[in-house]
Amino acid sequence: MFGVVPKVLWSRGQDVDGENRILLATRTLIAQHLPTGRIVLVDTGTGSKWSDDDAARYGIESRAEAIDEALSKVGADAGSVTDVIVTHLHFDHCGGMSEWSSGAGGKTRLRFGNAQHWIHRQHYDHAHAPTLRDRASFLRVDFAALDGNDLVRFLEGDEPACDIPGLGFELSHGHTPYQLIPVFDVGDGRELIFVGDMAPTGAHILPAWVMAYDLYPLRTVEERLRLHQRCGERDTMIAFPHDLQCGIVRLDVSGKKPTVGEVLLP
């Protein structure tokens, strides 16, 4: 998770188990557009289609009901979801998008069957023909239900358009090609950015603390520097996908190094 950064540095802020693994969350962002009733999910975690052996390898503790419980708190359910934003197709971000149709090991279906599923076409193509370096991060069983499905909305180009009110898309290429970065206009000049694996946790806002998983680490560094500048110029909130302690924060970029400033949602 920290690439070439020495363990003596990154372990100061991380709990490490006997297999050198750190604890991570797999967060889903739920957003409502009250005037239209649209309910948006950004990413869906690892899902529950795991054998005991595969789950043990990563230390995955899956709770299939977690998203349903969160939706119920806003008076919704899986059938109420109108839009699913797929930032990228790594298993820890899209596994909960699908479920077994009848029994484990068979066909899958989309779990949010009334929702449009937004993904960039070029990332979708990359996931079907990954490199030797990143192919282990793509599990076809997680996104096979997208193939040929009318619920898929493919985004195109470097400035993809979006018809969801209050939501726009930007792109990140450092971690994986054409990762979708949703930007929510939350009113009064404020914005909320789900940064995806451009910066998976608060520790990763340091520009050079890039993951070994990143295909193009120097691009990640450039993208984080632009994010820091943006946070210094606007009232920008950041939503992390994997931080165990904080979900939504404001960054403090006033010092020599950026830090997590105000925690708005643990």
Q: What is the CATH number of the domain that holds 119?
A: 3.60.15.10
**Residue carrying structure tokens 């470097």:** 158
Residue 86 lies in a domain: yes
CB atoms within 10 A of CB 19: 7
Residue 172 lies in a domain: yes
Residue 139 lies in a domain: yes
Residue 2 lies in a domain: no
Q: How far apart are CA 114 and CA 165, in angstroms?
A: 18
pLDDT digits (tens, 9 = 90+) for 37-74: 999 999 999 999 999 999 998 899 988 899 999 999 99
The domain total for the chain is: 1
Residue 95 lies in a domain: yes
**C-alpha 26, offset from chain centre:** 8
Token pair recorded at residue 199: 């910066």
pLDDT digits (tens, 9 = 90+) for 163-210: 999 999 999 999 999 999 999 999 999 999 999 999 999 999 999 999
pLDDT digits (tens, 9 = 90+) for 106-130: 899 999 999 999 999 999 999 999 9
Q: Which residues of 198-215 are buried (b: 16+ CB within 10 A; e: fewer)?
A: bbbbbbbbbbebbbebbb
Residue 221 lies in a domain: yes
The range of the structural domain enclosing residue 113 comes to 7-265
CB atoms within 10 A of CB 38: 19
Residue 183 lies in a domain: yes
Pairing of strands 116-120, 152-155: parallel
Residue 1 lies in a domain: no
